[in-house]
Structure 1
Amino acid sequence: MLRNALPALLLALALPGPGAAEPLPRPAYGPELEGFAYPFPVERYTFASQRQPLQMAYLDVPAATPNGRTAVLLHGKNFCAATWESQIRALSAAGYRVIAPDQIGFCKSSKPAAYQFSFRQLAENTHALLDNLGVERPILVGHSTGGMLAAHYALLYPKAVEQLVLVNPVGLEDWSAKGLPPISLAQWYQRELKTSAESIRAYETATYYAGRWEPRYEPWVTMLAGLNSGPGKEAVAWDSALVYDMIVTQPVVYRFPQIAVPTLLLIGQKDNTAIGKDLAPAELRPKLGNYPELGKEAAKAIPGARLVEFPELGHAPQMSDPDGFNRALIEGIAAR
């Protein structure tokens, strides 16, 4: 998936060969994903936020033949700007300038030790980046947690958004209101410290890829596992804990009727994502993350929203079926 034969290299590092007694050690990356290559040049936006200097990494890929429109891709909780590679290439070929940031606390961006994570703050950071780049009315494409961020951005800056695209966003339901017990930052932090390649792969198989694992997904496991096992793993785990707390305690579903920009929902129907589901009472778990119903409810709640469903795909349709997803995305944003 990445250039320069990176997937083959990562697989060779990560997986045992014939007759091997045990797998070779996986790479360990720095707290800003130092050592992991992105498929496009990485730029950095330096700014001050909450009385400290921070840097936000981002990709800025020009259009092959510009149509004057810009797509901004907002990654999910366990994703990075690099995981949008297929969409960046497809959008660029279709005439769009594409900007894909790594949010503060994620991937190649700063990992502040003390930061009040909120969707409003992340939206303000993203708006400042786009203003610095001269982007006024982008098409916002948000996946998973990035979908929650995109919704908040559209609520904060409705006149600064051309279109909103939500790809299997989390936050289509209020888990706490449905019975998810309180989860402390200490609990989230301890859970994140235990993250491993095996736990990542198992979770992603069941949730992102509808139970079907393919070797082409392995680089993204290596990316996350290396970030979570590297020299800055405590800082990475702490910011991750703060982000999980933000996701659970700042629901956006109640404000869907206030979204005032054209909205497209792209929903994999075999998604079952619900943050903290494993900590919910056993009888509640099957009732959470019902995306076939949640997608329809969101489409009804957001004025004028259009819904496209992918019957056989899970939480990451853009990765499971990039060609089919890219067609739906480009057709959807062209129909304005």
Structure 2
Amino acid sequence: MRLHASILAAVLGMICLASANANPQASYGPQLEGFTYPHPMQRFEFSSQGKSLSMAFMDVAPLGAANGRTAVLLHGKNFCGATWERTIQVLTGAGYRVIAPDQIGFCASTKPEGYQFSFNQLAANTHALLASRGIQRATVIGHSMGGMLAARYALEYPQAVEQLVLVNPLGLEDWRAEGVPYATIDQLYQGELRTSFDSIKAYQQRFYYNGQWRPEYDRWVSMLAGMYAGPGREIVALNQAQTSDMVFTQPVVHEFGRIATPTLLLIGGKDRTAPGANRAPREVAARLGNYPELGRRAAAAIPNATLVELPELGHSPQVEAPEQFHEALLRGLASR
């Protein structure tokens, strides 16, 4: 299956625009004020844990004839809903309605103090958002941390998920059980305060892109770094520390056998992402983040799973090789 020429042209145009708009010195507000999203931003206002919260999201209609399906795109920890811009273009071009939220604590959504972050809570927030938009069933696509959230969502709301897609998800292994030492939220917070454009780029270049870098990646680094450079850096850093603790202490891998939803695993084989590996003993760190092996283990553990391996790609295949990734994604969605 080849992507339609008009979609490819739009995708290539966005690559050029993203490169031109990248600004390593950008400074954004705590809810990413000043950053331009690819589609109009809407807000879901709700109450959770006694707090009034605002969840930012994009709701994008099909570009042509609708196929009657809705795709929900769940971003990773070092990503935002905006990072899905090319995927949104491709899916709406194929007839999907697309919902792309920013989770509470991330990007353009509320950064609450004293909030207990959990995957169950984020799943409940997402479910409430979809209900407010009249969506009862959807294809749920999660990348990185969003893959952990998507798996939890499918476990908690199986009747609401017609197909589950996990793109290089975190949580294919239990890092704590593997021997990675625990770090307190205070320790994580101090580390987050040292975050900069250069530190984000270095981490992503090493773990996400197999040591390679392209100018169009700078926009996504600037998107994150700008919040640390802006006036809300302390609450941004705190929420990031809290959600790092959530990722580390709430594994979903042990429940893969309970996922009843048809599941598509899209795994970039060059990925070596393993949260906490930097504080683990060398012999422990060396065996973590082996995504080719982890992907096969996950496919064997999830009852109705299909594994698509992308051996030459890393943690963000939708950014690194959009044409190859989206062809694989559309094939997998069509085979439902």
Same fold (TM over 0.5): yes
Matches of 1:191 and 1:8, distance apart in 2: 30
The C-alpha deviation readout for 1:267-288, integer Å capped at 9, x for no partner, is 0001001111100011211111
Deviation at 1:8, TM superposition (A): 1.3
Cα pair 1:76 1:144 within 8 Å, conserved:
yes
Matches of 1:310 and 1:3, distance apart in 2: 21
Does residue 30 of structure 1 match 2:29?
yes
Cα pair 2:58 2:100 within 8 Å, conserved:
yes
SS of structure 2 residue aligned to 1:73: strand
Q: Which residue of structure 2 aligns with residue 189 of structure 1? A: 189
Q: Which residue of structure 2 aligns with residue 105 of structure 1? A: 105
Does residue 8 of structure 1 match 2:20?
yes
TM-score for both structures, normalised by structure 2: 0.94
Structure number with greater CO (CA < 8 Å, separation at least 6) is 2
Runs (5+) with no aligned partner, structure 1: 15-25
Cα pair 2:15 2:216 within 8 Å, conserved:
no
Q: Which residue of structure 2 aligns with residue 131 of structure 1? A: 131
Matches of 2:258 and 2:86, distance apart in 1: 32
Q: Partner amino acid for 2:165?
A: V
Cα pair 2:18 2:216 within 8 Å, conserved:
no
Q: Which residue of structure 2 aligns with residue 315 of structure 1? A: 315
Cα pair 1:3 1:39 within 8 Å, conserved:
no
Cα pair 1:148 1:170 within 8 Å, conserved:
yes
Does residue 43 of structure 1 match 2:55?
no
SS of structure 2 residue aligned to 1:86: helix
SS of structure 1 residue aligned to 2:76: coil
SS of structure 1 residue aligned to 2:282: coil
CA RMSD of aligned residues (A): 1.2
Question: Equivalent residues in 2 for 1:223-234 (5 A)?
Answer: 223-234=223-234
Q: Which residue of structure 2 aligns with residue 301 of structure 1? A: 301
Deviation at 1:7, TM superposition (A): 3.2
Q: Partner amino acid for 2:285?
A: R
Question: Equivalent residues in 2 for 1:252-267 (5 A)?
Answer: 252-267=252-267
The C-alpha deviation readout for 1:267-315, integer Å capped at 9, x for no partner, is 0001001111100011211111110100000000000200000011010
The C-alpha deviation readout for 1:115-134, integer Å capped at 9, x for no partner, is 00000000000000000001
**In structure 2, do the counterparts of structure 1 residues 271 and 6 end up closer, same or farther at CA, with 3 Å as the change threshold?**
closer
TM-score for both structures, normalised by structure 1: 0.94
Q: Which residue of structure 2 aligns with residue 284 of structure 1? A: 284
Q: Partner amino acid for 2:61?
A: P
Runs of 4+ in 1 over 2 A off after TM superposition: 1-7
